[in-house]
Amino acid sequence: MINLEKKNQTENNLASRFVIGADVEREILANAGIIQDDTAFVEKRLEPVACPRCKTRNSHDSQYCNVCSMVLNEKAAVQISDSLETAQVSSDYAALLMALRRDLGMKS
Ligand SMILES: [Zn+2]
C-alpha cells in the first residue's frame, strides 16, 4: 500500500516535470523568436464567454447565449446579417412574413 502511494507520487512528480518542461521549452522557443508565445491567447480562447445581455457564462465556442439567444461572436452576427439580407431580397419574403405574423396571431 505504501509502495503504491510512493509509486503514484513519483509518477505525479514526473508528470508535473514534463508539463513544466513543456512550458520552459515554449518560453525558450518564443524568446528565440522561433515560435510565438500564444499561452495567454490559448488560455483566453478557452475561457467561458459571458453574455453581454444576461451575463450567463457560455462555453468558449458558443455562438449564441444558451439562455437568451444573444449572438456572442462576430462570425454568428455576420451569418445572421447575411441570411437576413438574402431573405429580404427573396420574392416571397413579404408573404412569408405575413404568414408568420398571422400564425403568431399578430395583426399585420
Ligand atoms: Zn444571454
Task: Measure 40 CA to ligand 1 centroid, in angstroms.
Answer: 26
| Alpha carbon separation from 20 to 9, 13, 23, 26, 61 (Å, rounded) | 16, 10, 5, 10, 27
Q: pLDDT per residue over 21-80, tens digit each? A: 777 888 888 888 888 777 766 666 788 999 999 999 999 999 999 999 999 999 999 999
The one-character DSSP state at 59 is: -
Task: Measure 58 CA to ligand 1 centroid, in angstroms.
Answer: 8
Q: pLDDT per residue over 51-60, tens digit each? A: 999 999 999 9
Task: Measure 50 CA to ligand 1 centroid, in angstroms.
Answer: 8
Domain borders along the chain are: 1-35
Write down the pTM of the prediction: 0.46
